[in-house]
Amino acid sequence: MENRILNEAKKQYACDMHTAEHILNQTMVRMFGCGRSVNAHIERKKSKCDYLLPEAPTDAQVEEITKRVNEVIEQKLDVYEQLMTREEASAIVDLSKLPDEASDTLRIIRVGNYDACACIGQHVDNTSEIGIFRIISHDFENGRWRLRFKLDSRP
C-alpha cells in the first residue's frame, strides 16, 4: 500500500519530467559548454527551461539535443541519490545556485554516470520510466534560449 501511494505521489509531481530536465541540462552543458538552466518550470503536460547562450541553436542542433536526450533515456540508467558533504559535492557539481543556508550535507542526484546535480526534488528510479523526449518549441531573446518540451508515451 505504501509503495502504491509513493508511486502515485511521484506521478503527480511529474518526476519523469524532472528527471528528463536533469538529462537535458547535462546535454546542454556537454553540447554548448553553458551552465544548467537558469530558469525551469516543470509540469506534467509540458515543461520549459531557459539557457544563457551567445546565439540560438540551429535546427540541426535542436534535433541533436533531442536525439542525445533520448539516447540517454534509452540506456535505462539507474537514478539514485548520494549524501555527501558540501566539500565533496563541490568536486563534482556546480554549487553556485545553492542557498547559503543549505546544510553541510547535500543530496546529490545521479543519473547513471551521465549527470550529477544537487537537488531536493523527486525522480524516477530508472530512465526507462521516462517517455520519449520532444522539444515542442523554442525561442531566443537577449542571450536567453527558452525551450519547451514534452514527454510522449512509449509505444
pLDDT in tens, the chain (155 residues): 555 544 554 445 789 999 999 999 999 999 999 999 999 999 989 999 999 999 999 999 999 999 999 999 999 999 999 999 999 999 999 888 888 888 899 999 999 999 999 999 999 999 999 999 999 999 999 999 999 999 999 88
Parallel, antiparallel or unpaired: strands 144-152 and 47-52: antiparallel
Q: Cell 502504491 sits at which residue?
A: 4
Task: Work out the angle at residue 84's Cα, subtended by the Cα atoms of residues 82 and 86, and round it to the nearest 5 degrees.
Answer: 135
Q: Return the pLDDT at 20.
A: 97
Q: Go through 131-141 and write b for each residue having 16 or more CB atoms within 10 A of its CB, e for each that does not.
A: ebbebeebeee
d(CA 110, CA 25): 13
Domains of the chain: 2-152 (3.30.980.10)
- Determine the pLDDT at residue 101: 85
pLDDT at 9: 46
pLDDT attached to residue 102: 85
0.75 cut: is pTM over it? yes
pLDDT at residue 4 in the model: 53
Cell numbers given for 111: 543519473
The Cα 114–Cα 126 span in angstroms is 13
| Residue 118 three-state SS | strand
pLDDT at residue 6, rounded to an integer: 47
